[in-house]
Amino acid sequence: MATAVQFGAGNIGRGFIAQLFHESGMDVVFIDVVQPVVEAINARGEYTIHIVGDAPEEVAIDRVRAVDGRDLEAVAAEIAGCDVACTAVGANALKFLAPGLAAGLERRYREGGAPLNVLVCENLHMAGHVLADHVRQRLGHDAAEEIISSTGFVQAVVARMVPIQAPDADDPLAVRVEAYKRLPVDLAAVRGALPSIVGVEPVERFDAYEARKLYIHNCAHAVLGYLGWPLGIEFGYEALQDSRVRPTLDLCMRESSEALCLRHGFGRAEMDAHVADLMCRFANKALGDTCFRLARDPVRKLAAADRLVGAARMCEEAGIEPIGLSGAIGSALAFNAPDDPVATALQSRIESEGPGPVMRDVAGIDPEEPLGRAALQGYVTALQGGKH
């Protein structure tokens, strides 16, 4: 029986990737440091994924066990003998799993094992290279570079949406997710043979799929959040249907879609179908995603290469005026939720320095360039509570 090692037994690891491994006939070994989760998995050997939406379903995941990630010898043994591995731990935690992964790869090399592919399911650009660097620093073997070059650090685009999980005292392993289960991965990073895994799609133009996730999926979420929150709309699915929000969202999607087609060669019909499917998924009330969550941390989401400004720059490069996107950038700059310390700090800076200088520093947009002027107009419009 093939075995998959899953670093991280959280919402994505337990609620998405393990399902793909399970449906591919694999045993799943979770590596985690949350002791109650590790103990519960080992005590039961199974758990249930609750698919939410129009066609709710319960998916039983069995043939699972868990190893404490602090037990480096046990982790190394699992890595040395598995058929595929995956990470879903959060970008900031990659460095913490590197010691066990490095020890396992070193042992695998000594024992003459086949190359291992590690699917890197983290919301971080170049996450595969980041993980490889962390592992390289931990390898003590004189063949460190050979081990690294023969290991596939295969970045993935995770697009399954997971609702905020309500604690379940009766079933701490239960997890609620949407049904979507496609996982594009970087074919160029694969080493040796990647097992056939349900939902995993090795793609040649991985940068295109990564850009589509950021500038369509993440961009649309941000637009819903920044336009919906100041209107007092609680949930993203409510903002999706609101006549004050939807026209700007649709305009942003047209702008980003056209630019993605021109830059990455997506077919227009393919892109239209992708956006339509995404809008249907956003309408899933069971996900319960709030406008506040979609909008929080505006400094990160306003970064020069991130979902809003990066999409607008891509449009400019393609000769497309980012009218909707500039308005969304202005709304993000005006986001002042008192429960978000990043937003309140941003507003304090704007109050003391002015929106133009802050926008230049946070988003890399000159207030005098066309995008800057349009975004500042969007900022003023957002403060006035008007339509974009």
Residue 289, both tokens: 């995603």
A 10 A CB-CB count for 69 gives 24
pLDDT the model gives residue 169? 64
pLDDT of residue 63: 97
Residue ranges of the chain assigned to CATH 3.40.50.720: 3-204
Residues of the chain with pLDDT under 70: 167-169, 386-388
**Whole-angstrom Cα distance, residue 44 to residue 30?**
13
pLDDT of 163 reads 77
Q: Which residues, in sequence order, are CB contacts of 45 under 8 Å at separation 6+?
A: 62, 63, 64, 65
Name the superfamily (CATH) of residues 207-384: N-(1-d-carboxylethyl)-l-norvaline Dehydrogenase; domain 2 (1.10.1040.10)
DSSP H or E run through 365: none
| pLDDT at site 170 | 73
Nearest Cα to Cα of residue 177 among 84, 281, 277, 86: 281
CATH 1.10.1040.10 domain range(s) in the chain: 207-384
Q: What is the pLDDT of residue 25?
A: 98
pTM above 0.85, yes or no: yes
The alpha carbon of residue 80 and the mean position of all alpha carbons in its chain are separated, in whole angstroms, by 28
Assigned architecture for domain 3-204: 3-Layer(aba) Sandwich (3.40)
User: What pLDDT score does 387 carry?
Assistant: 47
Q: Tell me the pLDDT tens digit for each residue of 250-288.
A: 999 999 999 999 999 999 999 999 999 999 999 999 888
Q: Are 303 and 362 in contact (CB under 8 A)?
A: yes
pLDDT of residue 388: 44
**Is the Cα dihedral 171, 172, 173, 178 positive or negative?**
positive
